[in-house]
Amino acid sequence: QQQVKQSPQSLIVQKGGISIINCAYENTAFDYFPWYQQFPGKGPALLIAIRPDVSEKKEGRFTISFNKSAKQFSLHIMDSQPGDSATYFCAAMSRPGNQFYFGTGTSLTVIP
């Protein structure tokens, strides 16, 4: 059973546009929601993360929106650039125990 559901599977956005990737979860024990960015041939790198006590977190062009009641969270990339082209994974984690679950990934392509 997929603990974290991610959509869309792939996304194509024009340079300067907004990229939006959505994730949903069921387990209310999750208390940490990171997003990872992965370039081809590289390991996933932590991009931004949020805890359920806030509804939004912004770092530069990247924003996480979190809806605790709906058990959904999303990544918004503003002013998308070709260098943002990568695979993005959402994840959910519960502590203690560090149970960690990846979403299925979204391949983002930003076209010039």
Partner 1 sequence: DAMVIQNPRYQVTQFGKPVTLSCSQTLNHNVMYWYQQKSSQAPKLLFHYYDKDFNNEADTPDNFQSRRPNTSFCFLDIRSPGLGDAAMYLCATSRVGGMDGYTFGSGTRLTVV
Nearer to partner 1, 83 or 97 (CB): 97
Q: Which stretch binds partner 1 (CB under 8 A): 13-21, 29-37, 57-65, 74-82?
A: 29-37
Residue 60 found at the interface with partner 1 (CB under 8 A): no
Residue 100 found at the interface with partner 1 (CB under 8 A): yes
3-state SS, one letter per residue, for the chain: CCCEEEECCEEEEECCCCEEEEEEECCCCCCEEEEEEECCCCCCEEEEEECCCCCEEEECCEEEEEECCCCEEEEEECCCCHHHCEEEEEEEEECCCCEEEECCCEEEEEEC
Smallest gap from Cβ 67 to partner 1, in A, equals: 20
Site residues (CB under 8 A) for partner 1? Answer: 32, 34, 36, 41-46, 49, 87, 89, 91, 93, 95-98, 100, 102-105, 107
